[in-house]
Amino acid sequence: MTTYIIRRLIQAVFVLILVTLMVFFVMRLLPGDPIVIYVAQTAQLEAMPPEMIDQLRQQFGLDKPLHIQYINWIGNIFQGDFGESIFYHEKVGKLMLEKFPVTLHIGIVAMVLGAVLGLAAGLLAAIRRGKWLDKIITPLTYIGITIPIFMLAILLIYSLGLKLSWLPITGYTSPFEDFWLSTRQLIMPVICLAVFSLAANARQMRSSMLEVIAQDYIRTAWAKGLSERVVVVKHAMKNSLIPVITLIGLGVGMVFGGSVIIETIFAIPGVGRLMVSSIFGQDYVVVQAITFVMAVIVLLVNLIVDISYGWLDPRIRYG
Amino acid sequence: MVEEKSITGFEEAPPPLSEWRRFRRVFFSRGVVVFGLIVLVLLLLVAVFAPWIAPYDPYEMGVGKSLENPNAQHWLGTDIIGRDTLSRLIYGSRTALMVGFISVGIAGIFGIPLGIIAGYLGGFTNSIIMRAMDALLCFPMLILALVLAAVLGGGIQNVIIALSVATLPGYARVACGVTLSIRENDYILSGQAMGSSDKRIMLKHILPNAFPPLIVLMTMQLGALILAEAGLSFIGIGIEPPGAAWGAMVNTGRNYLRTNPELAFAPCLAIMLVVFAFNMVGDGLRDALDPRLRGLI
């Protein structure tokens, strides 16, 4: 197990280096000079003498060769310095500290719901295969994986927000300020983010449960006279969880991708909305930092998933 | 004396169903799959013959009054500047299909060879290629597409590039995995023994055998790509006005939910139907080509 973890860690470090290279060089491929963009947004470009632009270039370290810039960038990140936003005139690190908790709050609630309900739904559909419960759950999961996230959002806004006026249609409040309002505002965005992973988890759980149920050791368990609960929970569920865990790990990426759309629709001041506004505002320091942090989170979660995978299934560890 | 039935002495098995007949039998056995296929064929026809089918010019303002509800002249009503929604919906199918098919093609052309090379050569090459793919996979698809589209600038061709890059690692991974198992076959060894070059083995032996899972993946990806394109154009990146894209139609339509809900819901339903159809046909292809892939793709 230790060798397996060490091997996975070394791989992860290597992937992390590649991620930094990708983020850094893609942002350097930008059309246009970052200094010109910076100047154009802060002051009048024409009024700025070329010497001052050169001075700024020096100040931001953009006159150095590319590999030195890269090393400086990495060094700064390790010190928690992600640069300064052109648009907000604030440290990007501070900006992200404000915005990431909002996105993670919604995202984690959605992921937990998607995992728990998805597993339960898949389990029920599998053990009641072909019965009415399966006939309801399975078509619903098809809808769940095909419905565009913004369609769900608009449907919810239209029905629960506009027609019934049950829920507020925009905004975000910290649960520490006003828990009740926060929860009410959270319901629609969380549903939108959770539905895809819920449906995907349910489908995966159902098919892997069906596969496990057909195994000999399940028949043995039944033959021993064990109760349904013991057979299902102890023997079948444990073994069919393995492929589902990978899917849950992939869900992090889906949550970040979805947050871009959801936070735009519901006017939630999270990192997804910051991303969109920074892209339109050409605030590339922010875009670079957010992309990097998201990729690192995805990398870490998948590392944890991989390690737990190896822990659950020895065949993978030694494979 | 017993009459010999065959060389081996056993009763001969009935002639196996031809591959194609078995494929057809499984593929057409499920209603939803056939439904998906019909939807896709119709969609393809609509996209190709859009100029003849669309009742109005999708870009012309004022073919109706502003924000008309559905009526006999405008089956799905009109938008704020009096453009016919049905016509825009029909032209939007061109955008969706074009982005979907071209992106899948580009991602496949680059991703599949990378995966086969990584799987066949193994060792250091494998590590380099697959870790790069892992790194690419760390970026959520929509985020990667958003950043690339922003870096490259809007426009449909850049959306296609962005989505191709974002989906490329999926093909490389599957191709690599399949190659690893195909590589163990004796016919590969015999090819090597006869002195075939690596390139020849990869092209003539591995690629054709790796094809079934890849074609399934491509079909499934088409649905995901159309969803992603809709997401991008919903945010406002991608096709530029006055071009018709379903996602963008939803985004403008959502401002008129109270009076004209069909403006947002019609393109939403179109997206859903298409994605559903691609998923179903992908499912059917998987079951017909290789049922062992169930749960993997």
Listed ranges A303-317, B38-52, B65-79; the one with the highest mean pLDDT? B38-52
Q: Is the ipTM of this complex over 0.95?
A: no
Tell me the pLDDT tens digit for each residue of A254-265: 888 899 999 988
Whether this prediction's pTM lies above 0.90 is answered by no
CA angle B178/A238/A236 to nearest 5° reads 90
Is residue B91's pLDDT more than 70?
Answer: yes
Q: Which of the residues A7, A195, A279 would you substitute to probe the B interface, choosing the one with the greatest number of B C-beta atoms within 10 Å?
A: A279
User: What whole-number distance in Å separates Cα of residue B144 and Cα of residue B150?
Assistant: 10
User: What whole-number distance in Å separates Cα of residue B284 and Cα of residue B43?
Assistant: 18
Q: Specify the higher pLDDT residue, B49 or B290.
A: B49
The answer to whether B94 touches B83, Cβ cutoff 8 Å, is no
Q: Which of the residues B40, B134, B136, B138 would you substitute to probe the A interface, choosing the one with the greatest number of A C-beta atoms within 10 Å?
A: B138
Residue A91: strand pairing partners = A84
Is residue A212's pLDDT more than 80?
Answer: yes
Contacts of A266 in chain B (CB under 8 A): none
Which chain A residue's Cα is nearest to B140? A253
Q: Cβ of B172 under 8 Å from any chain A Cβ?
A: no
Contacts of A204 in chain B (CB under 8 A): 295
Nearest beta carbon to residue B146 from set A151, A265, A275: A275
- The reported pLDDT for the residue numbered A316 is 67
Q: Cβ of B142 under 8 Å from any chain A Cβ?
A: yes
Q: Cβ of B124 under 8 Å from any chain A Cβ?
A: no
How far B96 CA lies from chain A's nearest CA (Å)? 14
Is residue B3's pLDDT more than 60?
Answer: no
Contacts of B235 in chain A (CB under 8 A): 260-261, 264, 276
Strands (E), chain A: none
Cα dihedral B110, B182, A319, B213 sign: positive
- The reported pLDDT for the residue numbered A271 is 92
- The reported pLDDT for the residue numbered B1 is 44
Q: Cβ of B130 under 8 Å from any chain A Cβ?
A: no
Which chain A residue's Cα is nearest to B293? A207
Residue B184, Cβ neighbours under 10 Å: how many? 8
Nearest beta carbon to residue B135 from set A22, A207, A256: A22
User: What whole-number distance in Å separates Cα of residue B201 and Cα of residue B195?
Assistant: 10
Q: Cβ of B40 under 8 Å from any chain A Cβ?
A: no
* Least confident residue range of A141-150, B49-58, B199-208: B49-58
Phi, psi at B2, each rounded to 5°: -80, 130
